[in-house]
Structure 1
């Protein structure tokens, strides 16, 4: 069978690339492992179900503030079975809608493992057929990693693919890893009444260069305030199984928990799909090497998403998929640029970042200025009872170019996009400082942070 484009993987990146290619007039086909895995990790075992549960946790926190708004609750009942049922219904609905939509458009989905046979041929293991195409896009995603002797069994030790089988809330949970996944689940399970212990081997939560240390400190303080036991510079030494799990930690303590969740990262799915045989180059960590157009070392084969770099985000995969398809069609003006990829973490706060932090700007030799505004003075945040957090802009002192933006607080992930568009368009901080946003709104804090840079910081003089 002949196609313009065959995509290995119908997850976030493959799905978006396929629809974009269809819009551009290409004849498209997907190769996906099974009908149950359409949508990839994000839909089935990642961002969609976790954000559903996180919204429930957020509602519970909002309800706890109801008295301030004259709303009194007489008792509150939690139903983990109903939570799982409703969450899974959303996932299933999205997955089935995509399959129906693809069928309506005439986009074929072949089920089985896709294996490269040559630069223009894919063998579908399962359907036992070969498919030929002008171009191939690799969008095979990633898988969970394990840690030492902590082998996930889906019973007491879970990875983030298995945790969805946990239908009842445990009494106590140990989460290994204080990264994006660990702090998200820590917030979720704590708000649903679970005693949570988080261990992180580094000296702060969210130990990423792209996340300001201030964001890590804010989050650690709030998680502790909510009752999460945060242990930094700590790791598991050993554990034993009795009625539950008895875990020996490197800080000398012993914790007893019902289960352990491993939130320690993922690895690219680049094994067993014929890359070596065809000549597609990988780096030392197993990621596919791509150029600025997401093209691999074989000119007819492209790659997107989790297999191209450690920045494993669904929207990065979607973006790269469209960059790849655009280049296949002869357009070279759309280039891969991870510096403009937003990073959003959903925990006790929303934490959103794009571009450079102050430390990164300094390392790259910029003379920079910083505008910081707290949500404490934002009327809308005060009305909503969510006045913790800040907007932080990093700006080139000479050109006014916006180098980065970091927001912690209510709806940070949505607010960040207002700055990303300016950065992509090459517009400076002056455009933002002179903009008009509605009042009262959270967005006003973005303008105010820009004014702090462009017009100078506001000075408050205490008299007497």
Structure 2
């Protein structure tokens, strides 16, 4: 057996890389992990965790308005201070960075805080010029926001920079129709920012059920978020007062304070040295892997967003765990990508698991759909005319639930438990046999007609 510096060298200390490193070390492997930013990766440092904290902060805008109907005397001049929220969120990110670091160190994983690239099937090169060898290399470098090549793009920001803004903009233009675009549209709007969302097509959140995404569009427009469909940004110019002039062919120009691009993410494979080990990429630049996350090079594996399978943090963690169990615990393990629940932390949030109605009709042909369109009790007393929508899709012949989708307060929290039932293959009758937990919004799931 060849003599290597490590049994495993992980490039990238995000959710997938950290899990793989920690578990591999627990299985007895000598492990090192390299990271040129902060330990924790996109989700913890500049993604879902700080964004969810902004969502919580933004929701107080509606809660404070509703509070007066519940007897609370809220001052009319109740003001929001962006630097306070921003700094508190960044402090929490720093705490999590420390927690992830401590977890790795407690498992005797060596942390190397510099960029590493592949230099061969068993070799990595550090930014300092030093080289390290390993029996196995795991690439877990994730993805980055896509920024288009247009004039003035240097004046725009990606989701990475949204957590570090010096001040809250008064007017914002967001390009994109996915979850990042819609989540930041809701956040900025609640912070009293005039928000316009532009999208190349006329569909937002394409992967979600049409009824649910249409309800979000309706509620977002009612709240005051402006949408421009079949619209693209051609160029951005900076005005003398510091504002930005945005040109959009076929649409009127706009002057705004912030332009955010949320138009997808690109795997971080450029200049990573993968060609030195003949690691194959797909047409989008993502690393191609087999069911065990092995690349075209037998000693190199890859997990997470860099593989462009399912770009979700819990999936990357599952892939990291499966890799460690397969390679260092002699327990070949694959990840089941079927029936993965997902959510959009919009205002209100939406969530779904399984097939959409359209997918079910195309796949099964004969289906039965149950819905509940209602106003949450809290919204009734608050005189907030905002309705929730729950939708259950079943196989008409067996009654098996093949999809569950919802939009409304706490929808992601409710769906997580319900997703277990959908994954387990339960039927509509199984839900009907459960006594309702009253009064809750979740009880609608066992009362659907």
* TM-score normalized by the length of structure 1: 0.88
Query: 1:442 matched to which residue of 2?
Result: 441
Unmatched 5+ residue regions in structure 2?
Answer: none
Partner of 2:84: 82
Are the structure 2 counterparts of residues 88 and 276 from structure 1 closer, same or farther at C-alpha, using a change threshold of 3 Å?
same
- Of stretches 434-443 and 367-376 in structure 1, the one that deviates more from structure 2 is 434-443
- The 3-state SS of whatever aligns with 1:256 is strand
1:228 alignment partner, one of 213, 225, 230 = 225
The 2-side partners of 1:227 and 1:236 are apart by 21
SS in structure 1 of the partner of residue 447 of structure 2: helix
Q: Is the 8 A contact 2:208 2:352 kept in 1?
A: yes
1:6 aligns to what? 9
Structure-2 separation of matches of 1:14 and 1:151: 35
Give the equivalent residue in structure 2 for 1:66.
67
Instruction: Report the Cα offset of residue 203 of structure 1.
Output: 0.7
Identify which range, 68-77 or 358-367, moves more after superposition.
Answer: 358-367
Counting only pairs closer than 5 Å after superposition, residues 13-52 of structure 1 correspond to structure 2 as 13-34=16-37, 37-52=38-53
Aligned 8 A contact 1:143 1:266 in 2: yes
TM-score using structure 2 length = 0.91
Across the aligned residues of Structure 1 and Structure 2, the Cα RMSD in angstroms comes to: 2.4
Q: Offset at 1:300?
A: 3.1
Q: CA deviation at 1:442?
A: 2.7
Cα shift readout 1:56-101 (whole Å, capped 9, x = no counterpart): 1112111111121111211211111111111111101100121123
TM-superposed CA distance for 1:302, in Å, is: 2.1
Deviations 1:276-305, CA, capped at 9 Å, x for gaps: 221222111111112222222233322211
What residue in structure 1 maps to residue 57 of structure 2? 56
Deviation at 1:27, TM superposition (A): 3.5
Which structure ranks higher in relative contact order (CA pairs < 8 Å, sequence separation ≥ 6)?
2
> Corresponding residue for 2:97?
95
* Partner Cα separation in structure 2 for residue 385 and residue 19 of structure 1: 50
Point out the more displaced range, 320-329 or 433-442.
433-442
Instruction: State the secondary structure of the residue aligned to 2:192.
Output: coil
Indicate how the Cα distance of structure 1 residues 436 and 279 shifts in structure 2: closer, same or farther if over 3 A, else same.
Answer: farther
Q: Secondary structure, in 3 states, of the residue corresponding to 2:137?
A: strand
Mapping of 1:59-458 within 5 angstroms?
Answer: 59-74=60-75, 75-126=77-128, 128-133=130-135, 135-153=136-154, 156-206=155-205, 208=206, 210-242=207-239, 243=241, 244-309=243-308, 311-328=310-327, 329-332=329-332, 334-376=333-375, 388-436=387-435, 438-449=437-448, 457=449
Structure 2 partner of 1:461: none
In structure 2, distance between residues paired with 1:306 and 1:396: 32
Q: Is the 8 A contact 1:375 1:381 kept in 2?
A: no
- How many Å separate the matches in 1 of 2:101 and 2:50? 19
Tell me the distance in 1 between the aligned counterparts of 2:44 and 2:383.
Answer: 31
Structure 1 outlier segments of 4+, above 6 Å: 383-387
- Report Cα offsets for 1:155-197 as digits up to 9, x if no partner: x421122233312111211111122111111111111111111
After superposition, the Cα gap between the structure-2 partners of 1:385 and 1:13, relative to the gap in structure 1 and judged at 3 Å, is farther
Count of paired positions: 441
